[in-house]
Structure 1
Amino acid sequence: MESEPTEQVRSATETAWWTVHRGDGPIVGTAIHNGHAMRSDTRALSALTDEARLREEDPFTEFIIRDLANRIVVHRSRFEVDLNRARTGAVYLQPAQAWGLSVWREHPPAAMIEASLAVHDEYYAMLHSMLAAIERRHGRFVVLDVHSYNHRRQGPEAAPAATDEAPEINIGTSSMDRLKWAGVVDTLISALGAADIGGRPLDVRENIAFQGRGEQTRFIHEHFPETGCAIAIEFKKTFMDEWTGKPDIEALRALRALVSSLVPVLTEALARQR
């Protein structure tokens, strides 16, 4: 029986990097910051509690994309290796790289850093191979690079971030040829904005809280400049309590259904690109 998002899944072993689901169609979903697991050597050296790490990870993004036939779910914590950073900054070594957090009790040894960066190398080799296969079959593809972000950083009882700076869904497009992919991106924004979640329309805006400058979208647009449209989607953590990690199950179900509903809409928009 399929699991519900009652808590962030923490059962991945230290040898499990990611899970790839491959089906038909040109729409791909990724949840590359969903992971919470760490290798034993990195966990032993970590200066952070599980709760502190979870607060900066993207729990439940795997659940949001679960109905997509093509999807990648990463099990490694971004505090072991951040797959959405360039290789040179994929292991957080300074607090400035990690929201001011001191990630390690002491500087990680070179061998440990290289072991983490090897995961980064393998991820991008796998991603390229998967997308090349989808390109061969469908000609073009769309990657929905799904993330989430905190909006109550001042504390659980403090006021949330101002809504003018924190849309419910932030669409990041800075790394793409926006004019080339306007038909796909505008269709996505319209579809999301027309959705009704909890009896109200969603606040969907482009390049407000984030601009889509992550390594994954950059990599895709570099290697598939004519055929790959990678869109960073940041869901504000209104679907959970970002301080306790407790999910709002009904909100997550609604977001999952919403993402699933995008597949035929985006497939049609992609076909119009030809």
Structure 2
Amino acid sequence: MYKTISNIDPGGSPASWKIRLGASPIIGTAIHSGTNVGDACRSLMSLSDTDRRREEDPFTERFIADFPTQIVVHRSRFQVDLNRAREAAVYMSPDQSWGLEVWREQPAEDIVRESLAFHDAFYSELNRVLADIETRYGRFVLVDVHSYNHRRDGPVSKPMSRDLAPDINIGTSSMDRQRWALVVEAFMETLRGHSLNGEPIDVRENVSFQGKGEQTRFVHTNFPETGCAIAVEFKKIFMDEWSGKPDWGTIEQLRAILASTVPVLESVLRGMR
């Protein structure tokens, strides 16, 4: 039995986020999968759709499609970044956005205020959903799914060194690592137990990213005893990061691999009671 909750923008705009609630303490989120930008923001942006989408996390919604509870955000991080602290959630200068000039003209105060209100509304709803799951199950695991570029110098450039760029990077820096050791280690070992296109999967912890985003911080601050949030960064080996063309075969493999962690995480949580 599932229940879906959508946040609808005023004026009939598409849903800004969608939450599907399932009967499990395991949650998958894709808060950077969105590409939607409101008309007022779009008119002020100098950034092309191609450049913008290169820094978004396309197809991460697909990776969590088998999770019992799913939280998917459809609004672009270039309008408001839900994985940044509130005061940094609207990119105002290139140093906040990989050197990219986002704005042709700086957004007016009312546009920024609306974006920050969206940030507030999302975290209020997230808190409500997680508190309900905590009440029902005692503990929960939130798998915070993202992706990252590894050919930043151009479409035919050499990829980043594998030493610095695992296929799947697990970020854990904001959690009580000792408290959640059984959860994190079972999660990583399950991922490592699979192959991808016939090759072993390189899964490492806190290499290219350390899990310092706002969503994991929020979970560990507000649910310190009961909530474990694992930041997961998939290297964009599942697509051409410059053209945006997906490799659906690899995407579906990664979806199944990630889904295989759900029963494992459920079992570990039951054993912690």
Scaled by the length of structure 1, the TM-score of the pair is: 0.94
Instruction: State the 1:106 CA deviation.
Output: 1.4
2:106 paired with 1:107: yes
Return the alpha-carbon distance in structure 1 between the equivalents of residues 65 and 145 of structure 2: 11
Instruction: State the 1:194 CA deviation.
Output: 1.1
Partner of 2:81: 82
Return the alpha-carbon distance in structure 2 between the equivalents of residues 106 and 43 of structure 1: 11
Instruction: State the 1:93 CA deviation.
Output: 0.1
* 1:135 match: secondary structure: helix
| 1:219 maps to amino acid | F
Alignment of 1:15-164 (within 5 A): 15-164=14-163
Cα deviation code 1:88-140 (max 9, x no counterpart)? 00000010000000110011111100000110000000000000111111100
Partner of 2:193: 194
* 1:112 match: secondary structure: helix
| 1:229 maps to amino acid | C
Partner of 1:241: 240
Which runs of 5 or more structure 1 residues have no equivalent in the other structure?
Answer: 1-12
Partner of 2:254: 255
Partner of 2:6: none
Instruction: State the 1:209 CA deviation.
Output: 0.2
Return the alpha-carbon distance in structure 2 between the equivalents of residues 14 and 64 of structure 1: 25
Which runs of 5 or more structure 2 residues have no equivalent in the other structure?
Answer: 1-11
| 2:231 maps to amino acid | A
* 1:230 match: secondary structure: strand
- Using the aligned pairs only, state the percent identity: 57
Cα deviation code 1:42-90 (max 9, x no counterpart)? 1111111110110000000000101112010000000000000000000
2:189 paired with 1:177: no
Cα RMSD between the aligned structures? 0.8
Return the alpha-carbon distance in structure 1 between the equivalents of residues 13 and 241 of structure 2: 25
| 2:93 maps to amino acid | Q
Return the alpha-carbon distance in structure 1 between the equivalents of residues 13 and 86 of structure 2: 21
Instruction: State the 1:14 CA deviation.
Output: 4.1
Return the alpha-carbon distance in structure 1 between the equivalents of residues 270 and 182 of structure 2: 10
Instruction: State the 1:16 CA deviation.
Output: 1.9
* 2:170 match: secondary structure: strand
Tell me, yes or no, if the aligned pair for 1:14 and 1:40 is still in contact at 8 Å.
no
| 1:115 maps to amino acid | E
* 1:239 match: secondary structure: coil
Tell me, yes or no, if the aligned pair for 1:17 and 1:75 is still in contact at 8 Å.
yes
Return the alpha-carbon distance in structure 2 between the equivalents of residues 171 and 252 of structure 1: 18
* 1:20 match: secondary structure: strand
| Equivalent residue pairs, number | 262
Return the alpha-carbon distance in structure 2 between the equivalents of residues 14 and 168 of structure 1: 36
Return the alpha-carbon distance in structure 1 between the equivalents of residues 197 and 173 of structure 2: 30
Tell me, yes or no, if the aligned pair for 1:14 and 1:37 is still in contact at 8 Å.
no
* 2:43 match: secondary structure: helix
Instruction: State the 1:197 CA deviation.
Output: 1.2
Return the alpha-carbon distance in structure 2 between the equivalents of residues 145 and 156 of structure 1: 27
Partner of 1:165: 164
Tell me, yes or no, if the aligned pair for 1:15 and 1:39 is still in contact at 8 Å.
no
Tell me, yes or no, if the aligned pair for 1:173 and 1:212 is still in contact at 8 Å.
yes
Cα deviation code 1:128-156 (max 9, x no counterpart)? 00001111111000000000000000000
Could you list the runs of 4 or more consecutive aligned residues of structure 1 that deviate by over 4 angstroms after TM superposition? none
